[in-house]
Structure 1
C-alpha cells in the first residue's frame, strides 16, 4: 500500500482510455476526484461508471469532457440527467442486482475503483460505511483500488470491510457526508402513505425506497408490530420505529433479528445511528437485491414509485418519453422477489397527477419513447391518493377499471373512453362518482368482527365480478328474503349496473374480506335516493356464514349517518314479514313500522332530521 502524499501521482495509477468506478450515494470520494482533476496532466477519455451519486457531480461538467466520459448505470442529479439528454454521457440500463456481474464478467472491466472508506482500524480493515451496494463488487474486481480515507465515515456492520492491503493508493481527507433531510409532505402524499400502510400487516418485512412516499409510509407504521427491514436503502424514517420496537426484525424468515440493507441516505442522525450498530447490517447489492434472497422473507412488502402506469399495469419509472430520468435500480429485483415471497406484496405508489394536476399519471398507454421497467405481470397493487388498485389475477378489463378508480376524478371519463376504443371495457360499463367522503380520510373503515378483520368501503365498478360471485353464493331463501322473489341469474351486465353507482347521489357500501390479492364480498348495503320527497329506500344482504354477526347493523348505521349528513329527511325499508332477524336490525336502529298494503311485507321508516 502506498503512503499518503500531498497529491497522488495519477500517471502511475491510470492511463488514458481507462474505465473507473466512482463511489456511490452518500460515499462519493469528492476530494479524491478533485485530486484527479487537479493532477490529471495528460490523461484523457477516462470512462466513469457510476450509479446514484449525491454530489455536485463536477466531473460531468462540459469543461472536463476531454478528461471524463460518464456511463451512468443509474441517472441521478440534474447535471448527469442533462449530460445524458445532450449526448455527453451515456445511460446503461441494468438491474441493480446484476451490475456486479458486469464487473466480474469483464463486460465492463474496471481499471480502478475510486471509493471513500473509513480509515483502517487496529486490524487494518477499512469500512465501506454507508454505501456497500455495488461499491463492494467494484473494489473486488477493479485492477486498482484508490481510496479517500474519511475519518467521518461511519463503520458499519455486515459485509462492509476491505483490508488496507487491497488499497493501491489513498489520500486522507475529512469530508462531511451529504445530508438528505426528511421531505415535507403535501396532503396527497400523506394519503398515499396511509393507504400503503393499510396493506402492511404486522410481522411483514419491508423494502422502503427513496423519496416522499416511502417516508410517508413509515410515518403511518407507528401502531404496527414486529416489522422487519430487507431493503436496498434505509433512511431516517426507520430510526424511531427501531427505537420503539415497531421494527424489531423478530419475525423475519431471512436474517432474523437484523435490519438488512446495502446503503443508507439521510441526515447525520442516520449516519450516527448506523455507526457500529450491530442491529443494522450492510451487504452488497448482489446479495440484498437478489430476488431469490428477497423471496426468502415471508410477507415481503416492497414499495416503489413510478412516473406513469398504463391501464394494463405497465410501469414506467426511468424515463419521461425519450428523456431518461433515473434508472431501473432495484425496482424489478424487489418486485420479482416480493412476487415469489410467501404472502408478498409488490406495490407501486404514485400521485395521480403531475405538472400541477394538468396531466394524469394513470394513462391509457405509455408515452412514446418511454420504456417499461416493471411489467404488468409483476405489479400486485397500484396506490394513489384515491385508493388502492389490486391488479393480481385481474383481467385487462378489471385492471383498467381498478386503475381508473384510483386515477384523478377529472381524468376518469377520458381514460374510460380511451380503453373502450380497444374493446377492453364493454359499453355497458359506465363511469360514476365512486368516492364517499363521509367515510373519512381514506374512504374506508377497518372492522373487527369475531376476531377477523374486514374492510367497509363503497362498491365500485371493479367489483363487478365479485358481486356476481356474491350473488351466486346465496341460498334460495336469502334471495327470496332480499328480492321478494327468486332471481335465477346475475349477468355481468346486471352486476355492472349494480356496482356502477353514483355514490354522490345513491349509496352502495360493502363489507369485504381481503387477504392479499384475494377479495370476497361478505355483505352489501345500499340506499336509493327518492328526490320527490327527499327520502331514500334502504336494503342489504349478508353472506350466509356471516349472518347474525352484526354486519347488517354496521352497514345500516353507516348508511343512516351518511344520509343524515346529506340532509335526507327519511329512510324507508320494505322487509318480508317472516324475516324476523332483519326486522330486529331495523327496529333496534329506531325504525317504526308503518301501514303496509302488502300483508306479507312490513314497511318501516326512520326520520333522519330533527325538527
Structure 2
C-alpha cells in the first residue's frame, strides 16, 4: 500500500474485525495511512498508540472508544452529516484507496449483501480503488441497495464472527417521563425516525399503544422492531415507500439481526438516499426524534460537543430535523433530560460553554421535551421561547435562568415568577390527551408561556360570558394580568386548562382553577368554558381533576360565588350536592361542596 493512502473501515456492526487484524499485523510496513469510518461498534484496536507512527484515524462520528484519542490529538474528527459522506468519497475531497468491508456469502447469482450497514459503505465500495472483504456467514442478507456484485471485490477472506450488539440501557425515571411527554406529540399514522441515544430510543418504547406508525430512519433498532411486533408499526399509512421500513443501518441485538435477514418488509438504502431532506419531507407526518447535550433559552441545540471537547457527531440530526419540519404535519422533536446525571448543571441553559457548536439552529427547532414537559417553539417569539423553556428546565435551575433572561432583556421585568408543578400528579406527567363527547383535547396545567393563549381565549368570549365569569363587563386582559393568571403557584393553588390542537398551535378552550384559603382547609373554585365547547362534559371533567388534587392536599371544602343569572353554573354545582347560601340584595349566591362527597358523586356515571 503506497504511503499516504486512505483506508475505509466498515460501519456499525459490520466492522470486519478479522480483516482489520490482518491489516494491523502488516501495518509496520505502512507510512502515513489514514483510516476513516463513521460510527463503529466494538473495540477499535487501530487506535493503540503502537500504531501512531504508521496510522492515523479520521472519524465522522465519535463513539466512547475514540473521543479520548481525538481530545488528545491522536485522531481527527471531521464534522459532516452522514448524508454528505458519500459525496466526499465519490468526489475529490476524501478519495478512498482501499475499502475494508464485511459482507454475507454470495448468492447463486454472485451477489453478496452488505447486511446491517449500507449507510456509507456502498459509496466507499464504489469509490475505492481496491475493495477487500471479510465474508461472514453470520452476516444477515438484505437485497436491493444492500446487494453488490462479488465482482467488485478484489480480495477476500472468509471468517465467521458474531456481530457486535448494542444493548440499550434501562431508561431512568427522567428519561421515561420525557419519553411520555414526547409520545403525546406523535399521532397515529405518523412516520417516525429516532437518533442514537437512550432518551430518543426510550420515546419509541412509549409508542406501543399507537397504531399505523411507519418507519423511515437512518438506523433501525430493537425498540423499532418491538413496535412492529406489538402492532404499533405497520407502515400502512406511509405516503412514501408504503409498506416498508426504510433504513440505512441496523444496530442492536442478535435478535434484531435475525429479524432483518431476508425480510422483504425492510428496505435498506445508502445514507445519502435516506438522509435526503426532500425524500424525508415526502413522508407525511414525519416525526424526527433526537437527543441533545444542551438547549439554550432561544432554542439553539448542541449535540456533538461539550465546550471544546467533541462527543458523538452530526449524524443525521440536521437532515431529519429539517426534513420533518418540511413534511406535511411533520414534527421535529428534541428530547433530553433537564439536568446532568450528577444534578449539578442544567441542560436548558442561557448560554453555551465557549467552544460548543450549534448543530440545530433556533429556526429549525419545533419542540423541545424534558421530563417536565413540552416547549413548543415554532412560530414563537424569544419571550415565549424563554418562558416555555424555563418551564421545562429542572426546578433547581429555573430561578437562575429567569435572572439571566432578564439580564439579556429577553423578557419583561414583571415576568418574575418561577414556574411550579402540580406535584401530587400520580404519574409525574402533567399532560395527557383526553376525548370528551368525541372531541380530542390536551389537558395540562396552565403555564406562564400560555399568557398569549389566555389573552386570545379571553378575547374570544362574548360579553355575556365575561360578565358571568368576572361579575362585571371586563373589557381588557393585559399582558401583565394574563401573566399573573397563568403564573400560578401550582403547589398551593391549581390552574388547569383544556386545549385544542390547531396544527402545531394549542388554543385554550376551558380553564378550571382553585385558590386555597391559607387559613382553612377550603378553596375557591372557578371555571370558564369557551362558547363553542359547552355541553361536552368539560366542566365535569375539570371539576373531577380539581377535586382529586384537593383531596390529596387535604382540602375538605370547595366554595364558589356564582351570579344569580348564571343558571348553568348554579345547576352544575347543585347537581353535585352543593349547598347554596343567598344574601338579600346581593347579585350572587355562594355554593359550598364537600370534596369527598363531590368525589363520590363524580365517580358515578354522568346523567344525560
Q: Which residue of 1 aligns with 2:601?
A: none
For 2:162 and 2:556, the matched residues in 1 are separated by 66
For 1:108 and 1:478, the matched residues in 2 are separated by 68
Q: Which residue of 1 aligns with 2:579?
A: 592
Q: Which residue of 2 aligns with 1:576?
A: 563
The alpha-carbon distance between structure 1 residues 373 and 167, as it changes in their structure 2 partners (threshold 3 A), is same
For 2:520 and 2:178, the matched residues in 1 are separated by 39
SS at match of 1:531: coil
User: What CA deviation, in whole Å up to 9, does each residue of 1:300-333 have, x standing for no partner?
Assistant: 0110000111001100000010001111110001
Aligned residues: 596
Deviates more, 1:226-235 or 1:577-586: 577-586
For 1:389 and 1:161, the matched residues in 2 are separated by 43
Q: TM-score, normalised by structure 1?
A: 0.96
User: What CA deviation, in whole Å up to 9, does each residue of 1:178-230 have, x standing for no partner?
Assistant: 01113212211111121111111100000022222233222222211101000
Q: Which residue of 2 aligns with 1:252?
A: 238
For 1:34 and 1:390, the matched residues in 2 are separated by 50
CA contact (8 A) 1:432 1:501 kept: no
Deviates more, 1:50-59 or 1:265-274: 50-59
The alpha-carbon distance between structure 1 residues 597 and 316, as it changes in their structure 2 partners (threshold 3 A), is farther
Displacement of 1:589: 2.4
Q: Which residue of 2 aligns with 1:512?
A: 499
1:480 and 2:467 matched: yes
For 1:169 and 1:382, the matched residues in 2 are separated by 49
CA contact (8 A) 1:146 1:167 kept: yes
Displacement of 1:439: 3.7
Superposed, 1:197-346 pairs within 5 Å as 197-346=183-332
Q: Which residue of 2 aligns with 1:11?
A: none
SS at match of 1:131: coil
For 2:474 and 2:266, the matched residues in 1 are separated by 60
For 2:28 and 2:424, the matched residues in 1 are separated by 70
Superposed, 1:141-180 pairs within 5 Å as 141-180=127-166
The alpha-carbon distance between structure 1 residues 597 and 59, as it changes in their structure 2 partners (threshold 3 A), is farther
User: What CA deviation, in whole Å up to 9, does each residue of 1:394-421 have, x standing for no partner?
Assistant: 1111111111111100100011001110
Displacement of 1:515: 4.4
Q: TM-score, normalised by structure 2?
A: 0.96
For 1:55 and 1:244, the matched residues in 2 are separated by 30
SS at match of 2:508: strand
1:29 to 6, 16, 21: 16
User: What CA deviation, in whole Å up to 9, does each residue of 1:84-141 have, x standing for no partner?
Assistant: 1011111111111111111111111111111111121111101000000011111111
Superposition CA RMSD, Å = 1.3
Q: Which residue of 1 aligns with 2:409?
A: 423
User: What CA deviation, in whole Å up to 9, does each residue of 1:347-368 have, x standing for no partner?
Assistant: 0111111141111101001111
Q: Which residue of 1 aligns with 2:439?
A: 452
1:537 and 2:524 matched: yes
For 1:291 and 1:18, the matched residues in 2 are separated by 33
Displacement of 1:433: 4.2
CA contact (8 A) 1:432 1:503 kept: no
In structure 1, the gaps of 5 or more residues are 1-13
Displacement of 1:609: 5.4
CA contact (8 A) 1:113 1:145 kept: yes
Q: Which residue of 1 aligns with 2:422?
A: 436
User: What CA deviation, in whole Å up to 9, does each residue of 1:256-282 have, x standing for no partner?
Assistant: 000000011111000000010001111
For 1:119 and 1:53, the matched residues in 2 are separated by 22
Q: Which residue of 2 aligns with 1:558?
A: 545
1:396 to 345, 361, 382: 382
For 2:561 and 2:8, the matched residues in 1 are separated by 75
CA contact (8 A) 1:302 1:338 kept: yes
1:528 and 2:515 matched: yes
For 1:27 and 1:73, the matched residues in 2 are separated by 16
The alpha-carbon distance between structure 1 residues 170 and 263, as it changes in their structure 2 partners (threshold 3 A), is same
User: What CA deviation, in whole Å up to 9, does each residue of 1:24-62 have, x standing for no partner?
Assistant: 110001111111111235211111111111121111111
2:106 to 97, 120, 128: 120
